[in-house]
Amino acid sequence: MAGSSAFQFARASYKHGLATRRQLAADAWANVRFRLEGSTDAGTDLLRERVMNALRDVRVRDVERLGADVLAGVLPRLYPQMLEVAYAHQDAGRPIHICTAASQEVAELLAGVLVFDGAIGTRSEIIDGTYTGRIDGPFTYREGKAQAVRELAARDGFDLAESWAYSDSESDLPFLRAVGHPVAVNPDTELARVAAQEGWEVMRFESLGRRLKVAGALVVATAVGGLGRELVARRARPQPRVRRPAIPARR
């Protein structure tokens, strides 16, 4: 998808009163950086901490009710080309799974709507129907994602050497190297370098980073232009009329 599913979750959380405006702004900026630069360890760790802290003492049912709004943000950002690839695998008899650092609930929700065969996400500890703010199991990021895939293969009895994995981020190199057919999709700079070095297949759908940089410049220009118009409007605003004493007309 274009951008981060975590931001769509944060946006829905804010709308339903489960996140503050400051948290939403932080996730919005993280989403822009993700789309321009790819993921980073530090950024992902901070996001994980924010999400876990935000979930503490929240009912599972309240999070599940975010589903419609999360999907409304995620589905329009899915690349239709990737869905075609996924369904082609499925039609060939290969089960397909979403594997993400996002929450297990979001991953399962999306997998169900897209009619995928399963989902792997980050699980949160739940006690008496309420989140504790702690992770229950590995964080499915970097080596944790590769570990989760290996556990899935062992459980369901399929051969990773005959499997495909798709990602756009250098952070997923352990995940991509866990399978026999890694594919880089709209890769960030480091993943593109590794893919070229390793001879991996590369799929490109759009130059999203360039578009966003241009869009960012336009946003700044628009903001400055708006400020300029406001200043002009203020200067052009008519001044209060001062009453002058009437001067009798000459006869």
Going along the chain from its start, the domains and CATH numbers come out as 5-203 (3.40.50.1000)
User: CA neighbours within 13 Å on the CB side: how many for 199?
Assistant: 1
Q: How far is CA 77 from CA 12, 82, 117, in A?
A: 15, 11, 21
Q: What is the token pair recorded at 48?
A: 């994980």
pLDDT for position 3: 75
Residues 6+ apart with CB under 8 A from 83: 114
pLDDT for position 11: 82
- The C-alpha atoms of residue 42 and residue 202 are separated, in whole angstroms, by 26
Mean pLDDT by 10 residues, the chain (251 residues): 76 79 62 55 66 82 88 91 96 95 86 96 93 89 93 95 95 96 95 97 73 42 39 42 44 41
**8 Å CB contact between 72 and 58:** no
DSSP letter at 44 equals H
What number of other Cβ atoms are within 10 A of residue 142's Cβ?
19
Q: Model pTM greater than 0.85?
A: no
3-state SS assignment for residue 204: coil
